[in-house]
Structure 1
Amino acid sequence: MRTPAARTLADYGVIVRRSWWLVAGTVAAALAAGVAYTELSQEVYESTASVLVLPTAGDTEVQGARTAGQVNLDTEAQLVKSTEVAEAAAAALGADPAADLVSQVSVTVPPNTAVLEISFKAGTPQAAQEGTVAFSEAYLAHRLAGATASIEREIAAAAVELETVTTEIEAAEDRLDGLDAGEGGRAGLESDLQDLQSRAAEIEAAVAGLQAQAEAVSPGRVINQASLPQAPVSPNAMFNLAAAIGAGLPLGLMLAWARHRLARKVSYPADLVDRCELDVLASVPPAVKFQRREVFGAYSPGGRVFSQLRNIVASQLTREQRVIVVAGVAPGPAASVVAANLATAMARAGDRVTAVAANPSTTVGLPELFGTDPVPGLADAWSGRIDLAEAVQAAPRQPSLSVIGPGAAARAAGPTSEAAAETFAKLAEAGRFVVVDAPPLSCSADAQLLAGHADAVILAVQSQRDAIGETAAAAVAMRQIDTPLLGAVLLPGALGPMNTVPLPTARRELTARPAPSADETPTDSLEPVEDATEVIPAVDAVPSAAPAAEPR
């Protein structure tokens, strides 16, 4: 059994090349979606202001802060988007509610700076600029209010303390006025009054200092004013198209891979290798046209393929190995086409070849392709009606090629193992090669029986028609016998008139052969060969099908 090799990058390239239209279509659809999204999306403008944050008396160093110093800029960035700042900005803009504005503002902190980058997005350039200004001013006002409030609390506390000291001073003065000049205790009272007055002076000086500090508070300033945006930041056409390609290309590749793995029909030679474990002996390109119900000319594209196939087959067989069974996978003309062209290529090479039509269910048989009569044939010899030599007919225009038709009882009498072995032995003695057109493996076991008495087996597979599962099963069935399975020949899905069942006629009509085309060989245009005992009449190169006689 053939073991598939590990996939290489070239193998995946082949898969992509087969489904290039699917990949290209997916990318095109993604690009179209990106263009539509760009066209339908609302334009968004963004304006940015840079605010330098200065430390105030209320700032203290925070442990674990990202910035070193008294101001934690991460905290300040969150304050810009706080509810208090948003409400102040909404009031300045006359917008409501403030929660919608928070989603439009963003704050970043450049590394190793004390700067906040405050940005605001809106549907128009003016609205974006106004929003940035409103949030910058609201943030600075909020920070100023916070710093001032701390100082004002200290001033208020000092004022309360000063009032208390003043009250004590007034009480001391009243007591001092009630004492005589030499009266005892007056000296001590005067000393206390001086202390209270000194304390009051200190408090007044502290209040004056706090007031001066409050007036000098600077929470920060705008160092880069919000500019009027000249172009929208969204939608970004280049980004959207790049994202569309980035999404469409992988999706297209996945679809191409899925198409390859989920395919049910054989389409390419690699399908036979990877999924059916078959070597590909030859593959007829889809560009080759089957214009008539006949074999290829030697120098035509199809003829060159079968000439190479002949060389491959001959190199793999010894001189004693002569019988080759060509079996199809499903009902159709594939096996007959391969058998006929392979036998013709061998005859052109100078070998004596006998082509045996053992497949009565094909749409085009070997007799029609070679221009011989279908009866008497193989089934008549197997049934004992005639001798095998009487079923052998010389093929017109191929001196070294003989043909055995299916016979009159082909649909009624199948082969037996003894008959097949005896027939192949006799034919092998008479020539170099025997090419047998066997029935399809999906509906008959006759091909396996015939292959058991042959020297080599070739599977004929038709692209886009034969299922991968049936082809793999046919390969397994042939490997279960001792006869070597050389490989497969892949035919294109379009076989032209080969796939058409001809209308029944009472007898073969003889018509003039058309002039040879450019791809025919000189041998194909020669007159039919006459032997010593029987003259084979010239027949049309495109004969009408002669129906097999009904079983008697």
Structure 2
Amino acid sequence: MRTPAARTLADYGVIVRRSWWLIIGTVAAALTAGFAFTSLSEEVYESTSSILVLPTASDTEVAGARTAGQVNLDTEAQLVKSTEVAVAAAEALGSADPDDLVSRVSVTVPPNTAVLEIAFRAGDAEAAKAGAVAFSEAYLEHRRAGATASLEGAIAAGTVELDAVKADIAAAEDELSGMDSGENGRSRLEAELDGLQQQADEIEAEIAGIEAQQGAISPGRVINQASAPGKPVSPNAMFNLAAALGIGLPLGLILAWARHRLARKVAYPTDLVERCELDVLASVPPAVKFQRREVFGAYSPGGRVFSQLRNVVSSQLTHDQRVIVVAGVAPGPAASVVAANLATAMARAGDRATAVAANPSTTVGLPELFGTDSVPGLADVWSGRVDLAVATQAAPRQPSLNVIGPGAAARATGPTSEAAAETFSKLAEAGRFVVVDAPPLSCSADAQLLAGHADAVILAVQSGRDSIGETAAAALAMRQIDTPLLGAVLLPSVLGPMNTVPLPGARREAPLAPAVSEDETPTDSLEPVEDLETTQVIPAVRSAAEPR
């Protein structure tokens, strides 16, 4: 049993080509969904303002902060979305839901800057601008209030300390005023009073400095004013369509792969290789048209395919190996078409060949394809009614090709092992190749019996008609005998007139035996052909130039 080769890029291309309509349909559906989502989505506008954050007296450096400098911008970004700032922004916008405003604001910190970018989204451009302005102003005011509160606390603490010093000064002055000029301790008290006065001056100077600093507080400034956006940021049609394509294309490929793996019918040569473990000897392209019920011309596209098949088959057989059985998978003309064209290609190459019709159930038989008579034929030979030489006819236009029809009792008698071996042996002695059109394996075991006495087997598979399971089973049945299975020939799904049964009036008349309806009479009850009054003796080989 052969092992399939590793999958190549060309194999994936076949899978895509096999289900291109499914992939395109999935992508189209995804793009339609993306377009519908874009059309139905509410428009969202975004306005952004940029604030340069400046350090204040209340700022202290944070160890391990992501941003360098005295101001930790990550902390400031969180403050923009704090409840206090949101409430102030809601008051400015006249909104009653600060939480809704917070959900629509976003803050980013550009790398290596001291800038906060405050973006606000709303349903229209003016509302987006107003929201960005409101949050910017509320944040700056909150930062200014925080810095001012810190300085005011320092001023209040300084004032308390100054009042205490002034109280000490007043007490020292009162005590000093009650002393005489030369009284003991006066000089010490005067020195102490001078120290208190100096301390009070220092505190006053410090308070004055804080008050000056309070007047010069600058928590930051807006360096890029928010403006009304000209177009919405959402929905983004290009992004949505690109996302739809990014989802639809992989999904389509997955569906194509699933269809390939779950397919029940043979459609491409890769199906035979991967799922049936069959070598593909030849594949007739779907572009090849079957116009008439006859073999392909030598230089037609189909004729070239079977000429190449002849070369492949002959290269795999030795001189003593001559008998080739062509078996179909399901009832139909596939095996007959392959056998007739292969035998014709062998004859065109100069080989003596004999085409044997052992498949009575086909819609088109070898005699019809070659223009010969169906009777007497193989079944008549096996039943002893005629000799093999009498049943052998020359094919018109192919002097080196002989044809043996199915015979008058083809459906009433089947091959026996002894008869098949004897027939093939005689035909192989008379010619270079013997090509046997065998019954389909899905409804008869005759092909396996015939193949047991042949030198090689070829399976004829029709795409879109033969199932993968039946094809694999047919290959397994042929591998169970000793005859080598060379591979398979894949025919297109459309065989034109080959697939139709001809009307009764269009059938060739059998000149040698009376017509038998349905041909269900047992062979043993038939009289020998030679005893019939209407019998005419036919030479073993009819001249191609003789009129029919």
Q: Normalised by the size of structure 1, how large is the TM-score?
A: 0.86
Contact 1:415–1:446 (CA<8 Å) still a contact in 2?
yes
Tell me if 1:66 matches 2:66. yes
1:11 aligns with 2:11: yes
Secondary structure of 1:288's counterpart equals coil
Give the deviation of 1:181 after TM superposition: 6.7
Shift of 1:147: 0.7
Per the alignment, residue 423 of structure 1 pairs with 423
Q: Which residue of 2 aligns with 1:43?
A: 43
Number of equivalenced pairs:
520
What's the counterpart of residue 233 of structure 1?
233
CA contact (8 A) 2:392 2:540 kept: no
Task: Give the secondary structure class of the aligned counterpart of 2:48.
Answer: strand
Show the counterpart of 1:296. Answer: 296
What amino acid is the match of 1:410? A
For 1:229, what is the secondary structure of its paired residue? coil
Give the counterpart letter for 1:483 in structure 2: T
Query: Is the partner of 2:222 in helix, strand or coil?
Result: strand
1:265-344 equivalences under 5 Å are 265-344=265-344
Counterpart of 2:212? 212
* 2:246 aligned partner, one-letter code: G
Partner of residue 105, structure 1 = 105
1:275-328 Cα offsets, whole Å, 9 max, x none, are 323222222221222233332333433233223322332333233221110001
User: Is 2:390–2:540's contact at 8 Å kept on the other side of the alignment?
Assistant: no
Q: Cα distance, 1:444 vs. partner? A: 2.3
Name the counterpart of 1:527. Answer: none
Q: Which residue identity lines up with residue 74 of structure 1 in the other structure?
A: D
Amino acid at match of 1:318: T
Of 52-61 and 155-164, deviating more is 155-164
In structure 2, what is the equivalent of residue 542 of structure 1?
A: none
Deviation at 1:453, TM superposition (A): 0.9
Distance (Å, rounded) in 2 between the aligned partners of 1:496 and 1:302: 14
* 1:21-59 Cα distance to aligned partner (Å, 9 max, x none): 333333333333333333333322222222111111111
Deviations 1:430-460 (A, max 9, x none): 2222111111122222212211111111110
User: How far apart, in 1, do the equivalents of 2:394 and 2:86 lie?
Assistant: 102
Compute the displacement of 1:371 (Å).
Answer: 3.4
Contact kept, 8 Å, 1:396 with 1:538, in 2: the verdict is no
Look up the SS of the partner of 1:407 in the other structure.
Answer: coil
Partner of 1:127: 127
Give the fraction of aligned pairs with identical amino acids, expressed as a percent.
Answer: 81
Distance in 1 between the 2:164 and 2:76 partners? 39
Against the structure 1 CA distance between its residues 415 and 116, is the aligned structure 2 distance closer, same or farther, given a 3 Å change threshold?
same
Amino acid paired to 1:419: A
Deviates more, 1:134-143 or 1:273-282: 273-282
Q: CA deviation at 1:96?
A: 2.6
Residues in 1 aligned to 2:227 and 2:130: alpha-carbon distance in whole angstroms: 10
The one-letter amino acid of 1:382's match is: W
Matched, 1:354 2:333: no
Aligned to 1:367: 367
* Stretch deviating more after TM superposition (384-393 or 123-132): 384-393
Q: Confirm or deny: 8 A CA contact 1:376 1:408 kept in the other structure.
A: yes
The amino acid that maps onto 2:151 is I
2:53 is the counterpart of 1:53: yes
Shift of 1:89: 1.1
SS in structure 2 at match of 1:46? strand
Cα distance, 1:211 vs structure 2: 1.6
- The amino acid that maps onto 2:298 is A
Asked if 1:202 corresponds to 2:202, the answer is: yes
CA distance in 1, matches of 2:335, 2:543: 29
- CA offset at residue 174 of structure 1? 5.2
Give the Å deviation of 1:462: 0.2
Are positions 1:400 and 2:404 aligned together? no
1:535–1:198 Cα change, 3 Å: closer
Between the aligned partners of 1:448 and 1:161, the Cα distance in structure 2 is: 117
Deviation of residue 232 (structure 1)?
2.4
Task: Name the residue aligned to 2:521.
Answer: none
SS of match in other structure, 1:461: strand
Q: Which amino acid aligns with 2:52?
A: L
Shift of residue 149, structure 1, vs aligned partner: 0.7
Moved more, 366-375 or 266-275: 366-375
Do the aligned residues in 2 keep the contact of 1:3 with 1:277 (CA within 8 Å)?
Answer: yes
In structure 2, what is the equivalent of residue 31 of structure 1? 31
Separation in 2 of the partners of 1:350 and 1:8?
38
Decide which moves more: 193-202 or 289-298.
193-202
What is the Cα deviation at residue 332 of structure 1? 1.5
User: Residue by residue, what CA displacement relative to the aligned partner does 1:113-166 show, whole Å, maximum 9, x if unpaired?
Assistant: 211122222222222221111111111111111111111112222223333344
Comparing 243-252 with 194-203, greater Cα deviation is found at 194-203
1:458 paired residue number: 458
Superposition map of 1:81-96 within 5 A: 81-96=81-96
Amino acid at match of 1:440: P
* Equivalent pair of 1:35/1:241 in contact (CA under 8 Å): yes
Is 2:144 the partner of 1:144? yes
* TM-score normalised to structure 2 length: 0.86
2: CA distance between counterparts of 1:329 and 1:150?
A: 94
How far off is 1:111 after superposition? 1.8
Read off the aligned partner of 2:303 and give its amino acid letter.
Answer: G
- Look up the match of 1:254: 254
* Partner Cα distance (1:51, 1:122) in 2: 20
Q: CA contact under 8 A between 1:288 and 1:302: conserved in structure 2? A: yes
What is the aligned partner in structure 2 of residue 495 from structure 1?
495
Q: After superposing the two structures, state which structure 1 stretch, 320-329 or 310-319, moved more.
A: 310-319
Call closer, same or farther: CA 1:534–1:396 in 2, change over 3 Å: closer
Query: Counterparts of 1:345 and 1:532 in 2: how far apart (Å)?
Result: 22
Residue type matched to 1:248 in 2?
A: G
Structure 2: which 5+ runs fail to align?
Answer: 511-537
Q: Which residue is equivalent to 1:160?
A: 160
* Helix, strand or coil at the partner of 2:342: helix
Query: Does residue 1:221 correspond to 2:214, yes or no?
Result: no
- Cα distance between partner residues in 1 of 2:11 and 2:403: 42
Q: Partner of 1:515 in structure 2?
A: none
The Cα of 1:401 is off from its aligned counterpart by 2.9
Structure 2 residue 245 is the aligned partner of structure 1 residue 245: yes
The worse-fitting range, judged by mean Cα deviation, of 166-175 and 144-153 is 166-175
Q: Distance in 1 between matches of 2:540 and 2:117?
A: 107
Q: Which residue of 1 aligns with 2:79?
A: 79
What amino acid is the match of 1:298? A
Cα distance in 2 for partners of 1:20, 1:8 equals 18
Q: What is the letter of the counterpart of residue 152 of structure 1?
A: E
Cα distance change on mapping 1:199 and 1:330 into 2, 3 Å: same
**Alignment check: 8 A CA contact 2:50 2:222 kept:** yes
* 2:329 aligned partner, one-letter code: V
